[in-house]
Amino acid sequence: MKVTVGPVLIYSQARLKFNGDREVAKAGFGHSSNIGGGVSINFTLPVINEKLSFQTDVLYVPVTFSSTYSTTNGIGLNNLRHHDFLFDLAYLKLPLQLRYTYPKGSVRPFVNAGYVLVSAPL
């Protein structure tokens, strides 16, 4: 068995949307773009098939959303209310995948297929 370990740097985009009549649902959060990373581990059994391997990663992904929403309850500045929202989250992703790697050449492209397990926010 051949085991390959290496660092991983990822770019992540997420979107947050609330439904309902509360102020948090009226605030527009849009998209959050963040950089995360982790460790990649690849297990190959060249005796069985050098093209197929098992690929898994442990990835840390931070996500931050913020928004401000203002409401008024009548006329005048005394009735103006500001609602500031901040969601600072982080979670772990664990992709479990089967990898097919083109076996020859100096450039070896690959294709992964599998599942991604995601933890609850940390």
Q: What is the pLDDT of residue 92?
A: 93
Predicted confidence (pLDDT) per residue in 40-99, tens digit = 999 998 888 889 999 999 999 999 999 988 877 766 666 778 889 999 989 899 999 999
Strand partners, 97: 55, 114
Question: Which amino acid is present at 20?
Answer: G
Q: How far apart are the C-alpha atoms of 54 and 44, rounded to whole Å? A: 7
Report d(CA 20, CA 52) in Å as an integer.
Answer: 48
> Domain ranges in the chain?
2-118
Instruction: Provide, rounded to the nearest whole percent, the portion of the chain with pLDDT above 90.
Output: 50
* Mean pLDDT of the region 25-37: 89
At residue 74, the pLDDT reads 66
pLDDT for 52 = 93
